Structure 1
C-alpha cells in the first residue's frame, strides 16, 4: 500500500510530460519537479526523495550524467532512479541500468504500469531502510557501558563485522536492482504475449529460464554474504587470489559508482595457511578504508591496487592507493592501536586493531607505510605453496 508521505522527484525539461506524471501521482505521493539536470541536483541537496523519475534527453546535463552523480553521492546513492524516456534502443536501456538505475520505462507509457513499478521499487526501498535500521539497533543494543570498557577479542570481531555490514548491504542492494528489474520486465512480457495470443511453449520456456537465471544470481549473492559472516573454525590451506576476488565481487560495484579504479595483480597462484574468512575481513576493511579516503579527499584519477606475491616462505598482500597517505604521527605502529582512527568521528578505531590481531593469530604481520602517491598496507602470511 502506498504511503502519502513518500516523495517522488520528476526531472524532465518538457512541462507536458511533468504535468501528465504529476496528475498521475499527486493523489498518492508528494511530488516535486525539476526542469533540468542541474536543478535536480540542487533539489536533492535540500530534500532527498524516495524515488526519482528521470528523463534522459535534456539540454545541458543529460539524465545519464545526473544518474552518475547521484550514484556517486553517499546521500543519494540509495535512492531508486527510474528512467522515463522516449529512447527505445536496447543499448540506451543497458547503459541506464549499468549506471545504477533500477528501471527503464519508454514513452508513451501506460499509467497502470508506471504505478505498479513505482509501488514495487518503493516497497523494496522501504525494506532496505528497515533492514538497515534493524542492523543499527542491534549494534546499539550491544554497545552497553560494560562492553565499552571490557572489549574482548570476540566482541571486537563482531562489532567490526557489524560496522562493515552497512557497506555490504548497500553492495547487495545495488547487485539486486538490475536482476529485479529484469524479472519485472520478463513477467510483464509474458502477460503481454498472452494477451496478444503470442504465448507458446518455446517463449514460455525461454522466459522462465531467464527469470530463474536472475533468481540464481540473487541467491548466490546472499550465499556469498552469509559465508563471509561465518568465522573460520580452523586453519586451512586456501588461495589468496580467490579470497580477494570473492570480496571484490561483493563490493566492486561501490568502487565503480565512485569512479575508483580497482586493480588486482597476482602473477601466479599463491596459497597460504590460515583462516580464510578472517583474511577476507581484513582485506575488506583495507579496501573500504582506501575507498573512503579517496572519496573524502576527492582525489583525481583515484586508484586502489591489490598485489599478491610469494617471497621466500611468506606470501605478501599489498593494498595501496593514491589518496595522499597516512599522517606520519600514526606510523609505523600507532595506527594499529585500539580506537586510533584516520576517519575522525566516522571511524571506530577497531578495524585496523582487529586486523592486526587476526593476522598475528595466523603467524603473520601487518604494516602500513606511505608511498609517493598514498597509503600502502602490507600483509605477510605463512606460505603453503605456489604454482606457476
Structure 2
C-alpha cells in the first residue's frame, strides 16, 4: 500500500489547525505544530512532503521559520505554502522572496486548499521522477560511452592507420563526447535553473574543445561550402595551438556546440563561422561570428527559453542553455547584429 504524503500544518490557533486537518486527513498524513520552534523540529525529524505555514505567530513568525528552513540543507527543498489573513501585496511578495511557493488566504476555501496542496505535491513528485530517470540514464549510459570515447584512441595507439581511418575514429570519439555532454546537460541545466548546480572548474584546453565542436559540424559545413575558423588572440590558430583556461570542459563543449551550431545554420552559403578566443585582464572572451542578420522579432528575446525563428527543427534552448552555462561560470553573454555580422560573445572570469 502506498504511504500517504505528509503535510505539516503550522498555526498558533487550534481552530485553524483542526480545519486544515479535517480538510486534508482523507488524502494525507497530517502532523501539526502550534509554534515556529516545534515546526522546525518536526520538519527535521519527519521530513514532510509539504508545509502549510501560518505567517502571524507569536515569537517566531512564519517569515523567521521559512528562513530557518531554507538555510538548512535537510529542509531547504520542502515546499512551503504560506497561510495568512494578510491582504497587502507586499506581504505576499516578501513571502515568495523568502522561498514560499504559494499563498492560501484565511478564511479557508476548502476547494482551494485541496487543489493547491495537491498541485504542488504533484509538481514535486514530477521533479523527483525526472531526477530519478535522469540519474538512471546517466548511470546506465555512461559506462558504454566510456568505451566509445576511449577505444578510438586505444586503436590508434595499436598501429599505423591512414588518414581516412584516423578521421573516422576521431568522429566516433567526438560522437561519444557529444552524447556524454547531452546526458550531463539534461540534469545540469535543470540544476542551473534552480540555482543548485555544483560548479567544479579545472584547467582545460579551450582550443581543443572548439576543434571537437568543429568536427561535429564538419559535414554540414562542407555541404554548404562554409569555412570553420578558429582564431586565438587575433590570429588564425596553428593546428595544435592551445588556449588554456579554468572552466568545466563538458559545459564549454555544450555551450560552444550550441553557439557554433546556430551560426552554421544561420550562415549564408560560402560564408565563414569564426570562433575567436582572446585573453583579457582577469577574463577570457569567447566570441562566435557569422555573416548575417538576426530577425527583429527575436533580437530582444535572443537568450530567452524556447526562442527560435525560421527553423523547422530545434527546441529554442541553444542560446538559453549557453546563457545558463556562462552564468554558472560567473560570466556573462551578449549578442550584437551589426553591419551584416552576428556576434555572440561570452566572457568568463579567470
- Under a length normalisation based on structure 2, what TM-score does the superposition of the two structures give? 0.50
Alignment check: 8 A CA contact 2:193 2:324 kept: no
Q: Please identify which structure carries the higher helix content.
A: 1
CA gap of 1:73–1:163, structure 2 versus 1, over 3 A, is: farther
Tell me by how many angstroms 1:173 deviates.
Answer: 6.7
The one of 296, 303, 317 aligned to 2:347: 317
Q: 3-state DSSP class of the match of 1:144?
A: helix
**Deviation (angstroms), 1:229:** 11
1:26 aligned residue: 25
Equivalence for 1:115: 114
What is the CA–CA distance in structure 2 between the aligned matches of 1:280 and 1:18, rounded to whole Å? 44
1:164·1:285 contact (CA, 8 Å) conserved in 2?
Answer: no
Residue pairs, 1:254-333, within 5 angstroms: 272-273=287-288, 288=328, 317-319=347-349
Asked which structure has the greater RCO (Cα within 8 Å, sep 6+), the reply is 1
Q: Distance in 1 between matches of 2:188 and 2:73?
A: 11
- Aligned to 2:65, the other structure's residue is in SS state helix
State the partner residue of 2:187. 166
Q: CA deviation at 1:271?
A: 7.7
Change (3 A) 1:145 1:163: closer
User: Gapped runs of 5+ residues in structure 1?
Assistant: 175-226, 241-264, 291-303, 309-314, 320-377, 379-388
Determine the C-alpha separation between the residues in 1 that align with 2:20 and 2:132. 32
Alpha-carbon separation, structure 1, partners of 2:37 and 2:44: 11
SS in 2 for 1:117: helix
Contact in 2 for aligned 1:4/1:28 (Cα 8 Å) = no
Per the alignment, do residues 230 and 128 of structure 1 end up closer, same or farther by CA in structure 2, a change over 3 Å counting?
A: farther
In the alignment, which residue of structure 1 is the partner of 2:37? 38
Q: 1:19 to 1:279 in 2, by over 3 A?
A: closer
The offset of 1:107, in angstroms, is 0.8
Is contact 1:7-1:31 (8 Å) kept? yes
Where 1:94 maps in the other structure, the secondary structure is: helix
> How far off is 1:142 after superposition?
0.5
Q: Which residue of 2 aligns with 1:99?
A: 98
Residue aligned with 2:57, SS: coil
Give the RMSD, CA atoms, in angstroms.
4.3
Separation in structure 1 between the aligned mates of residue 13 and residue 275 of structure 2, nearest angstrom: 57
SS of equivalent to 2:108: coil
Q: Which runs of 5+ in 2 are unaligned?
A: 151-172, 196-253, 265-271, 291-302, 304-316, 335-344
Task: Give the aligned partner of residue 156 of structure 2.
Answer: none
Deviations for 1:225-270, whole angstroms, at most 9, x for unmatched residues? xx97973334856999xxxxxxxxxxxxxxxxxxxxxxxx99xxx8
**Following TM superposition, by how much is the alpha carbon of 1:8 offset from its aligned partner in structure 2, in angstroms?**
0.8
Partner of 1:155: 176
Contact 2:145–2:176 (Cα < 8 Å) also in 1 = no
Q: How does 1:207-286 map to 2 (within 5 A)?
A: 231=258, 232-233=260-261, 234=264, 236=273, 272-273=287-288
